[in-house]
Structure 1
């Protein structure tokens, strides 16, 4: 069951996508904090400022545990939990443990897996094959190297330089591992934000978008911004996240 709303402003927990880190939420987190919200922007193991921990054994469950630990050690309650892209996989797995601490889930162009699915399952065999080939050719067979900011739709020169200086490699295993039970994530009320036009190949998020559009528990919103909307359109993202508090 969703967390019972309180009279206080709910905290936000912002979960980044693949090859990113908590850094990508900088502008959105600052704006939310100015309005009085507590904001957590965890970085998943092996990524961002934790890239020194990158290891071939890091899988999806490590990242699920990262997120669960934030809720437990920070005593997060009644939260708005936001996932971007790959972060949807992490949130789906973690919700089995933290759903009672979550008011609302927001998927910002994020995956919505069913029980037992991996990233490769939800993005389809063609895109999965490209990731595998990239890892084999440029990632020693076990990691996916950073992508240029343009892959995420970041074209402003200053923003692109900022993103390119911070994106890091992604352990391949995190995309291959199946997620555990996702029943609580699927049943929890929330908001899906589709970024249009997306810089990603059309089929990469098609499954998540169809699932959210057909799910009565989710409100659906189209945002005219690129996939990395928290970088390219932080004000619009912030406004939507604040509206999600009381959906």
Structure 2
């Protein structure tokens, strides 16, 4: 039976290489699974100007990467700030191609509002400051380490911090538009229960803003579960893909 292709979309201050350990584990468990870990514009392999970035541009970039890779039916995964991008990608690709949307430790503002409008917790003030200034920035290391890396080993923390990058300040201030989002695409949420960046309460609010999900899978992990729990995350993603095998 053929598996759908898997598309991984990173969050803020990340690039596609944040998925490296997850991708390696997926290839070990299911070498036949095609996996695409995208770089959003302005990092990695994808050129772009973080100072002028828009959600629409990022959506178009992911769709272009999917098409360039020759992918067919897909399961698409978004982490953290990808909660504002992935629903737009799903809307563009449509329910005929997207077998499932999975959001992991994500932030999803209500339709018509922005991340800066609704985000709470340790990153809220920085998101609002960045949205007002508009200049690409990087969260101070002490804040990032506190919000992202709790419970990690020293090596996991070192690697996570080494891969963080400058991020757009415009995206957190841009209102989301989910008017074209197809309601018939199954939705799964990976709930990080030890997350300091996005609390369990915050994630449930994002689930409600999205209009609900069919499945919630709890993982006792910090925000950066790609680094702290790559094998568990790979297992979850592979199980979801196998549900849609043909």
Measured against the shorter chain, the TM-score band is: 0.7 to 0.9
Residues 1:74 and 2:69 are matched in the alignment:
yes
User: Does structure 2 conserve the Cα–Cα contact (< 8 Å) formed by 1:82 and 1:106?
Assistant: yes
Residues 1:205 and 2:203 are matched in the alignment:
yes
Structure 1 residues 51-103: Cα deviation after superposition (integer angstroms, max 9, x where no partner): x7443111222211111112222222211100101111110112221123211
Assess, with a 3 A threshold, how the Cα gap between structure 1 residues 71 and 49 changes in structure 2: closer, same or farther: closer
Structure 1 residues 99-140: Cα deviation after superposition (integer angstroms, max 9, x where no partner): 23211111111133443232223425995443233677xxx7
Aligned to 1:145: 138
Aligned to 2:215: 219
Residues 1:83 and 2:81 are matched in the alignment:
no
Take 2:194 and 2:219, find their aligned partners in 1: how far apart are those partners? 9
Take 1:38 and 1:141, find their aligned partners in 2: how far apart are those partners? 37
Aligned to 1:110: 106
User: Does structure 1 conserve the Cα–Cα contact (< 8 Å) formed by 2:17 and 2:37?
Assistant: yes
Take 2:130 and 2:177, find their aligned partners in 1: how far apart are those partners? 26
| Aligned-residue offset at 1:143 | 1.8
TM-score (norm 2): 0.83
Once the two structures are superposed, the pairs formed by residues 50-61 of structure 1 within 5 Å of their partners are 50=46, 53-61=48-56
TM-score (norm 1): 0.83
User: Does structure 2 conserve the Cα–Cα contact (< 8 Å) formed by 1:71 and 1:98?
Assistant: no
| Aligned-residue offset at 1:49 | 5.5
Take 2:182 and 2:13, find their aligned partners in 1: how far apart are those partners? 23
Take 1:164 and 1:33, find their aligned partners in 2: how far apart are those partners? 25
Take 2:134 and 2:115, find their aligned partners in 1: how far apart are those partners? 17
Which runs of no fewer than 5 residues in structure 1 stay unpaired? 1-6
Question: C-alpha root-mean-square deviation of aligned residues, in Å?
Answer: 2.7
Give the 3-state SS of the residue equivalent to 1:180 in structure 2. Answer: coil
| One of 160, 167, 171 as aligned partner of 2:168 | 171
Residues 1:123 and 2:119 are matched in the alignment:
yes
Take 1:126 and 1:235, find their aligned partners in 2: how far apart are those partners? 28
Aligned length: 235
Take 1:132 and 1:123, find their aligned partners in 2: how far apart are those partners? 9
| Aligned-residue offset at 1:160 | 1.9
| Aligned-residue offset at 1:231 | 0.7
Take 1:126 and 1:32, find their aligned partners in 2: how far apart are those partners? 32
Give the 3-state SS of the residue equivalent to 1:12 in structure 2. Answer: strand
Residues 1:20 and 2:6 are matched in the alignment:
no
User: Does structure 2 conserve the Cα–Cα contact (< 8 Å) formed by 1:48 and 1:168?
Assistant: no
Which runs of no fewer than 5 residues in structure 2 stay unpaired? none
| One of 203, 223, 229 as aligned partner of 2:225 | 229
| One of 88, 91, 95 as aligned partner of 1:96 | 91
Take 2:164 and 2:126, find their aligned partners in 1: how far apart are those partners? 19
Structure 1 residues 203-225: Cα deviation after superposition (integer angstroms, max 9, x where no partner): 6534214457x72x521111111
Once the two structures are superposed, the pairs formed by residues 228-247 of structure 1 within 5 Å of their partners are 228-245=224-241, 246=243
